[in-house]
Amino acid sequence: METNETKTTNATKATNTMKAIRIIDYKAGNAPSVMHAVSHLGYGASFACGPQDIAGATHIILPGVGCARATMDSLREMGMLGALEDAVLRSRTPFLGICVGMQILFEHSEEGDTKCLGWLKGRVAKFDDKAVRVPQMGWNEVRLAKSPANPALEDHFYFVNMYRALPGDPSDVWGTADYGGVFAAAARKGNIMATQFHVEKSGEAGLSLLGGFLALEGGDWRC
């Protein structure tokens, strides 16, 4: 006999498989690790390697390992830039950028003197290597404001970064951390969410945050 608990579990699995989660794979990123984390949470997902792959997506994740210029060049070569603008800015599909995937959301990065997507106002600058060890590598405490993906919280997340975002609009700052001074560790604007830290490498705290993003339905992100 099917119990209520079994019915709930089966209903959750059915809902999860109905989501069209796309992880952008531009080869220089960290797409396989993110896929593993998404699968661990019980969701199905697929890699997006071209604009046709994000058509109809319910959630889009842009992982990041590497530099801003290489990431922008890869997305351009894949023909992704226009498709991403349509999906994220026009169709308002929930979007999560991770590490370099956060940095390229701003207007400009000092890394390679790179013109970025410009979805968020501001720029990306290198940490002062006279004040702190660069890159920042390891766990750091993050203070996150309440969002549709999470309650307000303080927890430790895993970072690997030489550069940090300097948002032009303070209201876009979702979370902060301290590394030689307070910096934006996460950003959010409407359906766009981004973390400088690696959610997929941040243990239970990271999985919880990723799970909150993946659980968003319809216009939940408007909350």
Known catalytic residue: 59?
Answer: no
Q: Is 204 exposed, middle or buried (CB count within 10 Å of its CB: 0-12, 13-18, 19+)? A: exposed
Choose the catalytic residue: 67, 111, 116, 200: 200
Known catalytic residue: 198?
Answer: yes
Choose the catalytic residue: 59, 67, 99, 111: 99
Measured distance between the N- and C-terminal CA atoms of the chain, rounded to whole angstroms: 39
Q: What is the spatial distance between Cα 123 and Cα 115, in angstroms, rounded to a whole number? A: 10
Choose the catalytic residue: 198, 204, 217, 223: 198
Query: Which uninterrupted H or E stretch holds 22?
Result: strand 21-24
What distances in angstroms separate CA 112 from CA 8, 64, 72, 198, one per listed residue?
A: 50, 16, 11, 22
Mind telling me the catalytic residues? 99, 198, 200
